[in-house]
Structure 1
């Protein structure tokens, strides 16, 4: 078989480059999602900030610890891609939304002015300069064609009142429909929120159990009985602190995004493909490290980077669950409804 002909070092490089490939395309679906929707409200800014700070620490730690070349490439690309997404968030929230609001306000004002009938000359309030002449003209005109003017005034008054009542009726109906939809949506919110609160409690309990089990198992692997002694002389303090800092930021970065999804009870604006490629990239990244060597000292040196990738899998699968949970969320449909 082909795998029998490849040594662990070659397989480690293959998985490393596969991880790089996944991370190169991982942000493309989210870039496209943001571009098509012209909206980044579904992306948590705290999630991106923690990710960027984690990338900075990850890059510095990888350089100081002289890790695999593929790990250095990934660290640099992580930072570049996260900064690009943050640029999208800033643009669509601060600049594009403001420009879009101004355009909508202009269109609204033009429609409003065109929908209101231009008042006739007889209803214009005269200014001080021509009030006397206007009064004389109106008086003379009324003397010449009194009955006709009265009839036309009554007809004009009736038509304007009927159009006004028709507009008011239509506006009242549309507003009533919107109010009914709003009440229905609020009722659904209350029903879903109770389920969401239970899921949040379950999420925190599972997170705590997962981390306790992961750290306890790692401690037994490295320092347990009948285990090969770890050479701590190869363990460098500063790179390890940077690596652990990046691991903590990576793992905790998903929590703001998860909580935002729970609060909104929606995953609208997020790309599912981004998290799928993230999982594949993290798994292949961990495989590239473990295939290179399973020696405890080597794994302990690389443990912060293993934890920063493998530790995020639980949170990524939580986001997968949210995509399933909110796939038929009524809020996604309700957001497209607005009063006329």
Structure 2
């Protein structure tokens, strides 16, 4: 948008442009933290494959909607960029997980054999004197205990005294199940965890501030360039499916509901909303958010929030005429409310998709807090 020739003014028109620019900046870098996290861990187990697939489908329809609606070339390029970034993220998931839709199990558990429940046969003349133990397939359950293994060399009391005096290394009790004393955390390890969490917090905040500042700077440069090129004209903004500034501040009130635009809008909203559910379920099943980048969802959260604000910060053309155009005059009775309501109705699908996704993102942040003890970057 272009402010009036007298200079930059932070009115509704400017607020909508600033929020829209911040939203674009967040969505440009949103994928980078998760891609780097997957590469650093050489794993994508923390990310739900269905979450990435559904999100990719939403961005594909985003591209189709941008092309069919004939939005600005910049918006179409951004929509294509979103899809390419999705493909990179999806490629990482398939590379690390394999070509399967099944998620990794939350924990591998081997069924143990209850020896007491097994009915023992009565002893006979041919049976052995020692009870026959069923062989175990689990490597962590030895057939003979440590005390029985050392019973031929001394009594259990002597073994206990040797352990107490430090004469016997506990790691040599049994090669099958080495017994090590409980490991106590050192003061250095105790301080490392809070420092790591504090560093991650400051890093996330600093990255978010830099991206928001880049968005504001982009709006200022765009406003300055537009004002210099068209000093007597307010520029027009268009919107694509989900992640671009809304089509606000048209000098005419010709806002029309386009059938295909609305269909793609509600379809994108449904896909973006549904994409969060598999990730929420995976975090709940794993009882952990390890492997999920908090900055990934933080950028998405701020991007959705500023996008919603850019839509609500709409000023009808008649109100701008009242301030900038003495010839056309201002809004007639009820015209402002009618134009604003029509505009909100036009963007209802994008509002539902962004606001609903924002609520689900807050639920994911709640999981980061609940499972913080299992995630060293959040604990």
Q: Residue 292 of structure 2: SS of its match in structure 1?
A: coil
1:237 aligns with 2:259: yes
The structure with the largest helix share of the pair is: 1
Q: Which has the larger radius of gyration?
A: 1
The match for 2:355 is 310
Q: What is the root-mean-square deviation of aligned Cα atoms in Å?
A: 3.2
- The correspondence for 1:269, drawn from 280, 283, 291, is 291
Gaps of at least 5 residues in structure 1 are 96-165, 178-230, 334-340
Higher relative contact order (CA 8 A, sep 6+): 1
Aligned length: 207
Alpha-carbon shift at residue 39 of structure 1 (Å): 0.3
Q: TM-score, normalised by structure 1?
A: 0.54
Alpha-carbon shift at residue 250 of structure 1 (Å): 0.3
1:249 aligns with 2:271: yes
8 A contact 1:55–1:246 mirrored in 2: yes
C-alpha change, 1:324 and 1:68, in structure 2 (3 Å) is farther
The match for 1:11 is 15
Q: Distance in 1 between matches of 2:81 and 2:309?
A: 19
C-alpha change, 1:29 and 1:233, in structure 2 (3 Å) is closer
The match for 1:141 is none
Alpha-carbon shift at residue 171 of structure 1 (Å): 2.1
C-alpha change, 1:293 and 1:244, in structure 2 (3 Å) is farther
Q: Cα deviation per residue 1:147-170 (whole Å; 9 max; x = unaligned)?
A: xxxxxxxxxxxxxxxxxxx97822
Structure 1 stretches of 4+ moved >4 Å: 66-74
Alpha-carbon shift at residue 9 of structure 1 (Å): 3.3
8 A contact 1:34–1:269 mirrored in 2: yes
1:41 aligns with 2:63: no
C-alpha change, 1:69 and 1:301, in structure 2 (3 Å) is farther
Alignment map for 1:120-199 (pairs within 5 Å): 169-173=174-178
8 A contact 2:172–2:178 mirrored in 1: no
Alpha-carbon shift at residue 301 of structure 1 (Å): 1.7
Q: Distance in 2 between matches of 1:86 and 1:31?
A: 10
Q: TM-score, normalised by structure 2?
A: 0.49
Q: Distance in 1 between matches of 2:274 and 2:294?
A: 19
Q: Distance in 2 between matches of 1:325 and 1:61?
A: 38
C-alpha change, 1:66 and 1:299, in structure 2 (3 Å) is farther
C-alpha change, 1:30 and 1:233, in structure 2 (3 Å) is closer
Q: Distance in 1 between matches of 2:74 and 2:304?
A: 13
8 A contact 1:279–1:316 mirrored in 2: yes
C-alpha change, 1:29 and 1:282, in structure 2 (3 Å) is same
Alpha-carbon shift at residue 26 of structure 1 (Å): 1.6
The match for 1:325 is 370
Alpha-carbon shift at residue 73 of structure 1 (Å): 5.1
